[in-house]
Chains A and B, each alone.
Chain A
C-alpha cells in the first residue's frame, strides 16, 4: 500500500481535476436538468462509504477474534471514513431531493438505511470515545453487527417504502451520463483509499508514540 501511495494520490488528484470538465460536458438529464449533476458527487459518496463499511466490518471481525492491533487501526480509520462519506451523501442527497422530489427528505429505502448506517458508525465512534479502557473490543462488535445486518436493514426498509430510483438505473444510464459517473466514482474510491492509508498511518504513529511512552516508563 505504502509504495503505491504516491501514484494513487497523483491519479486520484488527476481524476478530481478532470471531473468538473467531464461533468460539464455531460448532457442535461431531460427532466431534472442541472440539478441532476449532483449525482456525480452523491452516488460516488455512497460507493466510497460501502467500501469503508466493508473494510471496517472485516477489520473489526479480525480484531475481535485475533486481537491484532493492526486490524483495529484499520477498523477505526475506516469507521471515521464511513461517517465522513455518509455525511457527504446525506448532505448532497437532500439538496438533490429538494429539486427532484420537492422535499428535503423522503423516508425511502436508500435514505433511511443510509441514515441508520450513519448512526451505527457514529455509535461506534462514541463507544470508543466514552467507553473507557477496552472499548475497542466493544466497538468492534458494534461494527460487526452493523456490517452484518446492513443488507437486512436495506431489505427491510426497501419493503417498508420505495420511492428512490432502483439500483438498476445506474447501469442503464446513457453512456454520456454514465462515463462521468464512472470517473467520479473511481475518484471517490481512490480518495477513500488515500484517506484510509493516511489515517491508518496516523494510527500507526499514535501507536508508536504510545509504545515509546511505555518504553520510557520501563
Chain B
C-alpha cells in the first residue's frame, strides 16, 4: 500500500512540476520531430522512403528523445539534491523508481502519440492498419527502454560525465528492445501486414520487460546507497 502510494506521490509531484512550464514535454516533442526529419533526409530516395525506414525512424526517434527526457528529468532531482531527500524518506525506495518510471512512460506515450501520426503521414506508412498490435509493440518497447533508462539515469545522478554515460550504457543494453520494436513495426507495415510476426515480437518484448523491471526493482536500493 505504502509502495503504490509513494509511487503515485512521486508521479503526481513530477506532473505538478511539469505543468508549471511544460519544459520537458515541449522540448522532448520538438526533439522527437527533429529526429524524424533528420532521418528522413537520410532515408528518403526519389521521394520515397527506403524499405522499412519508417519503422526504424519511429523507434530511433523514441529512443533518442527518451534519452534526452531521462537526462532532463533527473537533472531536476539533482538540482536541489532532492533525489537525496527522496531517498531519505521512510518509504520503500523501489517505489521511488516506479514513480519515476511511470512519469517517463507517460511522457514517452505522449511523444509517441505525436510521432506515430507524423511518421505515418510523412512516409505513407500504414501504421494504423493494426492499431492494437501497434499499441502492443509501442507499450512493450517503451516499458523496456524506460525501465533500463530510469534506473541508469537515477544511478548516474551522482556520477561524473553523466550526460554522455547515459546513452553509452543505455543503447547497447536496450538494442534488443529496439530490434523487437523495429521488426515488429516493419512486419505491420508490409504489403500484407504480418500479424503473426508482430505478435511474436510483442511476446519477446514482454519477456524483456519482465527481466528489465525485475532486475531494476531488485538493484535500485543497493545502487542508490553511496
Evaluate whether A127 and B179 lie within 8 angstroms (CB atoms) in the complex, with A132-B160, A134-B158 already known.
no
Evaluate whether A126 and B165 lie within 8 angstroms (CB atoms) in the complex, with A141-B155, A146-B173, A155-B204 already known.
yes
> Which A positions have Cβ atoms within 8 angstroms of B?
64-65, 67, 116, 119-120, 123, 126-127, 130-132, 134-135, 137-138, 141-142, 144-146, 148-149, 152-153, 155-157, 159-160
CB 8 Å contact bits of B214-226 with A (1 = contact, 0 = none): 0100010011001
Q: How many residues of B contact A (CB 8 A)?
A: 31
Q: Which residues of A contact B2 (CB under 8 A)?
A: none
Q: How far is the CB of A110 from chain B (nearest CB, A)?
A: 15
Q: Which residues of A contact B175 (CB under 8 A)?
A: 116, 153
Check B173 against A138 for contact (C-beta < 8 Å).
no
> Which B positions have Cβ atoms within 8 angstroms of A?
148, 151-152, 155-156, 158-161, 165, 168-169, 171-173, 175-176, 179-180, 183, 200, 204, 207-208, 211-212, 215, 219, 222-223, 226
Please pick, from B160, B204, B212, B223, the residue contacting A137 in the complex, using a CB distance under 8 A: B223
Check B160 against A148 for contact (C-beta < 8 Å).
no
A-B pairs with lowest CB-CB distance, top 10 = A132-B160, A119-B172, A131-B159, A156-B176, A120-B172, A130-B161, A153-B176, A123-B168, A64-B222, A138-B155
CA distance A135 to B165 in the complex (A): 11
Q: Which residues of B contact A152 (CB under 8 A)?
A: 176, 204, 207-208, 211
Q: Which residues of B contact A123 (CB under 8 A)?
A: 168-169, 172
CA distance A199 to B141 in the complex (A): 39
Check B160 against A131 for contact (C-beta < 8 Å).
yes
Check A142 against B169 for contact (C-beta < 8 Å).
yes
